[in-house]
Amino acid sequence: MATPNLTAITTVTPKILASAQMASGDNAAYTVPANKAAQIKTMVLSNVSGAAVTITVSVIPSGGSVDGTHKVVSGYSLASNDSTTISEVVGSWLGAGDKVNVNAAAATAIDCVITGLEFA
């Protein structure tokens, strides 16, 4: 998966990169498509459940895995009916195949919205 040369891009698309409710465990919230690059502008996690939920966020390079070496937020307890902006990923540049992973300790409790730019 080749990442485009940013000096030769022809398309910049602002968009919602991800908007989904997370399952329990590891979730690939957003993966950069082949032949594209992306910049994260916002990432918000909302706890829609009645109890606190522990979350972990990782930024994983193409071909990498959730192995504990890519965490940007680790073991954060998100209170019931609360939201948090994941400022640690804001501004991040990702290449083709790179991904943002969210680990949620409970199913159907965490909503994830990521906005940004895709470059091709």
Q: Model confidence over 12-58: pLDDT tens digits?
A: 999 999 999 999 999 999 999 999 999 999 999 999 999 999 999 99
Give the pLDDT band (50/70/90) at residue 2: low
Query: Whole-prediction pTM value?
Result: 0.94
Give the pLDDT band (50/70/90) at residue 83: very high
What radius of gyration do the chain's Cα atoms show?
Answer: 14
Largest CA distance in the chain: 48
CATH number at residue 58: 2.60.120
**In this predicted structure, what is the pLDDT of residue 68?**
87
Residue 9 maps to a domain: no
Domains in the chain: how many in total? 1
The residue range of the domain holding 25 is 18-114
Residue 105 maps to a domain: yes
Residue 56 maps to a domain: yes
Residue 78 maps to a domain: yes
Residue 113 — φ and ψ, nearest 5°? -125, 125
Q: Residue 78: is its pLDDT beyond 70?
A: yes
Number of helices followed by number of strands (H, E) in the chain: 0, 9
Q: Residue 4: is its pLDDT beyond 80?
A: no
**In this predicted structure, what is the pLDDT of residue 3?**
73
